[in-house]
């Protein structure tokens, strides 16, 4: 367990915390998907067709497929290799290709967005 650093009288941040680069922009072309492992977590890095890079938790919340292996960029989303569920850059379900609409029960499903700022959880 991390001791932590007291930032004020009420809050302590665990160590390590800070910004970590996981790739250079030149290493990822539009439409490309890469699996990553940082901070003891599986992650997926992808660049949308309009050129915006995103990092998410690697596993699809539907059935657990690793989006970094077989995931495909579709517009501004990444599609799961199992059932093609599409997740936007914030990790929310954007589309289920075989459904007319996203069921309310599934609307909350998300691959958590991983910000470039990391702090350990104790």
Confidence of residue 104 (pLDDT cuts 50, 70, 90): confident
Is residue 7 included in any domain, yes or no?
A: no
The answer to whether 31 and 73 are in contact (CB under 8 A) is yes
Is residue 10 included in any domain, yes or no?
A: no
Confidence of residue 17 (pLDDT cuts 50, 70, 90): low
> What's the rounded mean pLDDT across residues 25-33?
92
Is residue 4 included in any domain, yes or no?
A: no
Is residue 77 included in any domain, yes or no?
A: yes
The answer to whether 112 and 59 are in contact (CB under 8 A) is no
| pLDDT for the residue 15 | 53
| pLDDT for the residue 43 | 93
Higher pLDDT, 21 or 32: 32
Is residue 82 included in any domain, yes or no?
A: yes
> What's the rounded mean pLDDT across residues 33-60?
92
pLDDT digits (tens, 9 = 90+) for 48-96: 999 999 999 999 988 899 999 999 999 999 999 999 999 999 999 999 9
Is residue 15 included in any domain, yes or no?
A: no
Tell me which residue range forms the domain holding 39. 20-119
> What CATH number has the domain bearing residue 34?
2.102.10.10
d(CA 79, CA 87): 6
Is residue 86 included in any domain, yes or no?
A: yes
Structure tokens at 43: 């992650």
Is residue 5 included in any domain, yes or no?
A: no
Question: What domain count does the chain have?
Answer: 1
């Amino acid at each position: 367990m991390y001791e932590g650093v007291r930032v004020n009288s009420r809050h302590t941040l665990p160590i390590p915390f800070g910004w970590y680069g996981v790739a250079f922009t030149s290493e990822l072309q539009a439409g490309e998907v890469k699996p990553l492992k940082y901070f003891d977590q599986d992650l997926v890095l992808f660049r949308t067709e309009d050129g915006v890079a995103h990092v998410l938790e690697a596993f699809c919340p539907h059935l657990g497929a690793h989006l970094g292996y077989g995931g495909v960029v579709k517009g501004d989303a990444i599609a799961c290799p199992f059932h093609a569920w599409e997740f936007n850059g914030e990790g929310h379900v954007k589309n289920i290709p075989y459904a007319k609409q996203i069921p309310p029960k599934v609307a909350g499903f998300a691959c958590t967005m991983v910000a470039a700022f990391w702090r350990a959880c104790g």
